[in-house]
Amino acid sequence: MANFSSFHILFFLFITSGIAVSATVFTLKNNCPYTVWPGTLAGKGPKLGDGGFQLAQGASQQFTAPAGWSGRFWARTGCKFGASGNGNCVTGDCGGLQCNGGGAPPATLAEFTLVGDGGKDFYDVSLVDGYNVKLGIRPSGGSGDCKYAGCVADLNAACPNELKVMDPQNKVAACKSACLAFNKPEYCCTGAYSTPQTCLPTNYSKIFKQACPDAYSYAYDDQTSTFTCSGANYDITFCP
Q: Give 14-73 pLDDT, tens digit per residue.
A: 333 333 447 999 999 999 999 999 999 999 999 999 999 999 999 999 999 999 999 999
Residue 16 gets which letter from DSSP?
B
pTM over 0.85: yes
Q: Which long-range contacts (CB under 8 A, 24 or more apart) does 182-187 make?
A: 187/218
Q: Give 119-147 pLDDT, tens digit per residue.
A: 899 999 999 999 999 999 999 999 999 99
Q: Give 88-109 pLDDT, tens digit per residue.
A: 999 999 999 999 999 999 999 9
CA atoms within 13 A on the CB side of 76: 28
- Evaluate the CA torsion angle 200, 153, 54, 170 in order and state its sign: negative
Question: Domains in the chain and their CATH numbers?
Answer: 24-154+215-238 (2.60.110.10)
Tally Cβ neighbours within 10 Å of residue 144.
14
Model confidence at 1, pLDDT cuts 50, 70, 90, reads very low
Q: What are phi and psi of 156, to 5 degrees?
A: -60, -35
pLDDT beyond 70 at 180: yes
Three-class SS of residue 154? coil
pLDDT at 151: 97
DSSP codes, 56-116: -TT-EEEEEE-TT-EEEEEEEBS-EE-TTS-EE-SBS--SSSS-SSPPPSS--EEEEE---
CA distance 59 to 27: 10
Which of 27, 63, 95 lies closest to 237 in space, CA to CA?
A: 27
